[in-house]
Amino acid sequence: MRTSLLSILSLALAIVLSAPLPAAFAEDGAVRVATKKGKFADVRSDLEEAIVNQGLKIDFNGKVGDMLKRTGADVGSTKTIYSSAEYFTFCSAQLSRAAMEADPANISHCPYTIFVYERAEQPGVVYVGYRRPQGQGSDASRKATAAIDKLLEKILTSVAK
């Protein structure tokens, strides 16, 4: 009887721990992603505004969805992945300097990139996310990259609400 109860509890715990985060916000450790129902253009505009509202200047707006559409036939693919997909790159002079002063290798985190896309088979659901900066080395380095992550999360959360 005790073995059966332990087996049931173990199974229940495994199910709970393996359940995904709510669709509105998920992460796998390396990437944090949120979803928002709406039009791609509106969510994209919200993202651009959220970045600028942090006092940041967008350095580049990549149109990865357009590139994939344009080059699909060249690489032998007919699959449409996104109806739209873009990314923005930017940096915070203050946070980037602190990170690089703590560890010059933290240059790898600059510029920061946040992506936005709508999957072709899922119209009306827009994904927004970023690759989380991974702190390494000294406590100062980990603290500095955590501050960058916090900024990116703040931008993401403001768009996903």
- Taking the C-alpha atoms of residue 43 and residue 47, their distance in angstroms, rounded to an integer, is 6
- Taking the C-alpha atoms of residue 13 and residue 36, their distance in angstroms, rounded to an integer, is 29
Total domain count for the chain?
A: 1
Q: What is the mean pLDDT of residues 99-117?
A: 96
Q: Is 1 among the domain residues?
A: no
Range of the domain at 156: 21-160
pLDDT band at 17 (very low <50, low <70, confident <90, very high): very low
pLDDT at 127 > cutoff 80: yes
**Lowest-pLDDT range, 6-15, 18-27, 57-66?**
6-15
Q: Is 135 among the domain residues?
A: yes
Q: Taking all residues of the chain, what is their mean pLDDT, rounded to a whole number?
A: 86
Percent of the chain with pLDDT strictly greater than 90? 79
Q: Indicate the pTM of the whole model.
A: 0.81
Contact predicate 57/90, CB 8 Å: yes
